[in-house]
Amino acid sequence: MYQFPYADTMESSPQLARERERQVFERCLELFRAAEEKGAGSREAIEALTFCQRVWATLLEDLANPENALPKELRAEIISIGLWAVRESESIRLGKSKDFKPLIEVTTALYEGLK
């Protein structure tokens, strides 16, 4: 499947790009809630953590690109959130934590912020 660079998508249709971002965070929320219900060692948890880490890897790569049009301060803040989310996901994956609530809360805030 061919993927267009994120900047091209934003240039052609910022509303469409924002809606896609909302859909991705909505999917993260669905997966995290299922994982919370089934437990940290469940198949649902593995799926949620893998999806979350993939999402953040993509976002972090884009945010680190010097051609990203977001203001530097905002990019830095989102990068910090992303790094935290990856660490939190890894902590659950390694069995150091079983608590999905912080990930759900932060993802909900990001999702709501995209409205």
Residue 106: its pLDDT value, please? 97
**6 in any annotated domain:** no
**80 in any annotated domain:** yes
Domain housing 90: 13-113
Instruction: From 43, 48, 30, select the one nearest 88 (Cα to Cα).
Output: 48
**2 in any annotated domain:** no
Mean of the pLDDT values across residues 63-85? 94
**8 in any annotated domain:** no
Mean of the pLDDT values across residues 61-84? 94
Phi then psi dihedrals of residue 9, to 5 deg: -65, -45
pLDDT at 109 over 50: yes
**Span of 13-17, 29-33, 40-44 with lowest mean pLDDT:** 13-17
Residue 11: its pLDDT value, please? 55
Number of structural domains found in the chain: 1
**20 in any annotated domain:** yes
Residue 2: its pLDDT value, please? 36
pLDDT at 53 over 60: yes
